[in-house]
Structure 1
Amino acid sequence: MTKLVLLSGWGIDARVWQPLAPYWPPGIEVNTPDWPGYGNRAGEAAPTTLPELASAMRHELPSDAVWVGWSLGGLLAGALLEHLPAPRALILVGTGYRFCSEDGVTPAELATFRRAFERDPQATWRHFLRWQLQGEPSPRLALRRLLDLLGRHPSASNDTLALGLDQLAQLDLSRQLGAPPCPVRRLFGERDRLIGKTARREADRLLADNGHCPMLTRPDALASHLIMLLRDVAPLPDDGEVVI
């Protein structure tokens, strides 16, 4: 049995992974925990330091699992490599060494977004949902699917969302991924507007015709690509065969 832990990104809780459920083969145990302050843990205060976050997520991120972090979830998972026992492998989906880059989302763009969030958090959250879907083959359909999953309001508080924006601005995985304690693989949508071309060139696999949120538009393809990466870092039993 291969354990897989799927970690969601900024402003979005673990329900975003539900579309992948029909596509997992036998031999994979999938867990989709919420970060503190999100979804089923919305009543918890979000930890403000990485050691505190590690303590809060210790039981959700076991060392005998493969962690899959999407967007901010990937940055946090990578940062936690220094605070928790290393997993079997780390797969980063739509996550570079850092969130900002000169050929992706620039620091100036993120600063503008953060100022807008201070003025109107809810409207800025809704804008972000649309923004991250720009590279998908059908952004409007993807937005409807996302809102059907999450509802019209974030499960996280404004304070939790503001903390996540701080993390997007500050987290840098150059040190952790320069000499990682476990295998690391990168998966990007080839049309991801939040990822620069430099980062996409380092991808182990690219999702054709997809952007930042393939779980909404091609969950079958995303699951298949993740399974192919799993074969590389954590071999599956024979009955887990999947053909892309």
Structure 2
Amino acid sequence: MKLADVGDVRLHYRIDGPDDGAPVVFANSLGTDMRLWDPILPLLPPGYKYIRFDKRGHGLSTCPPSPYTMGALITDTERLLDHLGVRDCVFVGLSIGGMIAQGLAVKRLDLVRAMVLSNTGAKIGTPAMWDDRIADVAKGGIEALADAVMERWFSSEFRATPELELWRNMLVRQEDQGYMGCSAAISGTDFYTPTSGLRLPTLGIAGAQDGSTPPDLVRETVDLIPGSQFHLIRKAGHLPCVEQPEDYAEVLTKFLREVGHG
């Protein structure tokens, strides 16, 4: 476990793979930490330098008081990659992580040579919806949202398995301030115009039963970028890397090879 001081926060990060491997960076969703990617990492090809981190307010990273801005989350990520000497990575972002990917590519194209926009959008939800969620967490903690979040995250089949409890526990053990802060960042973000100006290899991944970022939203977002690809994963909700790790790893591996990474 390592911490990087990136200014007003310290980010917990982990690197798997050789130091000289081509970098693949993962940014996880609201309410999860870097363990989100545990199911797929053993299924990905060796030789790459896999970099994961907990965004501010999540996992073992520090948690400033909410609210946060998307600009702050992007700057955190930019400073982490600069700290690690990363250039020309493939950036895999899920949900809010996909928003960070879009913003980082617009700001620092030297850092990102290709990106995977998983279960995300150029804009997610409405400010009123996020205000309601923030108010619920302020009143009753993340626990107040947990059951509804599980319904959006996972298919009905997965929710019937014992593994559901693992992910519910991960959610409710995040910091309330971190959840509220990142919710505010999503609420204030509309990347339709800046993302439409991007020109880099892009893969969109959606879960057929995603209740947070439906497939049409993911497709609409990646369609803003000419030449992008789109892949739908069946029998999965908002976290297809958890529900269908073999399918997720297969499509990600194919994309890494198609873009000539490493």
- TM-score, length-scaled by structure 2: 0.75
Amino acid at match of 1:161: Y
Q: Are residues 227 and 81 of structure 1, via their aligned partners in 2, closer, same or farther at CA, if it must alter by over 3 Å?
A: same
Bigger shift: residues 107-116 or 71-80? 107-116
Following the alignment from structure 1 to structure 2, what is the Cα–Cα distance between the partners of residues 113 and 46? 13
Percent identity between matched residues is 22
The correspondence of residues 1-244 of structure 1 with structure 2, limited to 5 A, is 1-42=21-62, 48-61=68-81, 62-84=86-108, 85-100=110-125, 109-135=129-155, 137-141=157-161, 142-147=163-168, 150=170, 152-154=172-174, 156=175, 158-202=176-220, 204-235=230-261
- Give the structure 1 partner of residue 3 of structure 2: none
Distance 1:51 1:111 in 2: 19
Aligned-residue Cα RMSD (Å) equals: 2.7
Q: Is the 8 A contact 2:116 2:205 kept in 1?
A: yes
**Higher share of residues assigned strand:** 2
1:144 Cα shift? 2.4
**Which structure 1 residue ranges, 5 or more long, are not aligned?**
101-105, 237-244
In 2, the alpha carbon distance for the partners of 1:74 and 1:49 equals: 15
Give unpaired runs (5+ residues) of structure 2.
1-20, 221-228
Quote how far apart the aligned CAs of 1:181 are. Answer: 4.7
Q: 2:100 aligns to what SS in structure 1?
A: helix
Residues in 2 aligned to 1:190 and 1:31: alpha-carbon distance in whole angstroms: 27
Equivalent-residue separation in structure 2 for 1:50 and 1:118 (angstroms): 20
Superposition deviation, residue 52 in structure 1 = 4.0
Q: 1: distance between equivalents of 2:130 and 2:66?
A: 21
More RCO (CA 8 Å, sep 6+) = 1
197 and 219 in structure 1: CA distance in 2 versus 1, 3 angstrom threshold: closer
TM-score, normalized by length of structure 1? 0.80
CA distance in 1, matches of 2:64, 2:260: 33
